[in-house]
Amino acid sequence: MSLDSFVTLGRSGLRVSPFCLGAMTFGEDHGWGATAAESEAMIAEYLDRGGNFIDTANIYTNGHSEKIIGDFFAGQNARRDRTVIGTKFFCNLHEGDPNGGGGGRKAMIHQCEDSLRRLQTDYIDIYWLHNWDRTAPIEETLRALDDLVTAGKIRYIGFSDIPAWKAAEAQTVAHFRGWSPVIAMQLEYSLLERTVEGELIPMAQELGMGVMPWSPLKGGFLSGKYSRKNADSVDSKRAALMGGGPSEADYDVIEAVNAVAADQDVSPASVALAWVRSRQGVTSTLIGARRMEQFRENLAALDVTLTPAQIASLDEVSEPALNFPAHYNTHLAPTLAFAGATVDGQPSEVSPLLKGNSARY
């Protein structure tokens, strides 16, 4: 597979690369990240290799990430038009201003205008609600987004890190009001974070939203740098960002990834990314890097295909405990509904409640 093996994002007409270039690391304003020159070099290589999808947010390096992208495309109108650029709103960059962030109309339009200015573009291809604003009616957020689509300032709408029930409500409201729908969901998803399989991914598949995993390497835990042997030398700054180093259960998964990487003669990062890319519902995976070497290593995952046995071993060691009723619906409900029959290629067992009591009354 290559970056120009384009895929359709959700229930839309938008075609994007299977790996999206994440720009959270663009700029050193937070004390880490890539310089502007390094960031522009990654953009150039990504585009030269056929990629067409870049993701940023107003909060990334306090707006510097957007500016770096805008500076790169300045004066390159044709190249910009061939690129799908997404940015996010919600986060407040104006200390003390209650309307500087969130999902209200005033805040959103202000944030959109600021992002357009920093990106030096007339339109944003995907405008993402970065989180759920509990204080703003979802109808207000959706209508304001639809107005921005009508005004030509944004092309499509996406959600990031929104609860499944709220995203489902929003999509239903948009459908019945005739407003622009949500075409994609950004979710944290990796071998070390699979709980989204309970509600969020099934919801997205059912309602026409493409799934875009972020942090597929779990903040570097699955990059190959971590093992039980070097647990004491974990980068303290990185560990602080992640809320601590890997747990014992995390190390079980890390070791399984490292073993598959050794079998394939590829990097652990490539294995972790290939696993995410293979998951049901996933459309385009966000990848980011602080250095060109990391970036190229991540792109190498496009050439990695895991065997069914390798996928099964990774699935088993990383199996999550899902909230009710996910496990119930997946494992018990088919036995109750299908009573040993095979439906849609999936066999079921006969429920113990039924054995010996079939149609007795």
Residues designated as active site:
60
Question: DSSP code of 90?
Answer: -
307: phi then psi, degrees, rounded to nearest 5: -75, 160
| Tokens 């960031």, residue located | 39
Query: CA 21 to CA 16: how far, in whole Å?
Result: 11
Query: CA 72 to CA 241: how far, in whole Å?
Result: 29
Distances (CA, A) of 150 to 44, 125, 174, 219: 31, 13, 14, 37
Query: CA 64 to CA 78: how far, in whole Å?
Result: 23
Distance of CA 308 to the CA centre of its chain: 24
The burial class, CB within 10 Å (0-12 / 13-18 / 19+), for 258 is middle
Letter for the amino acid at 71? D
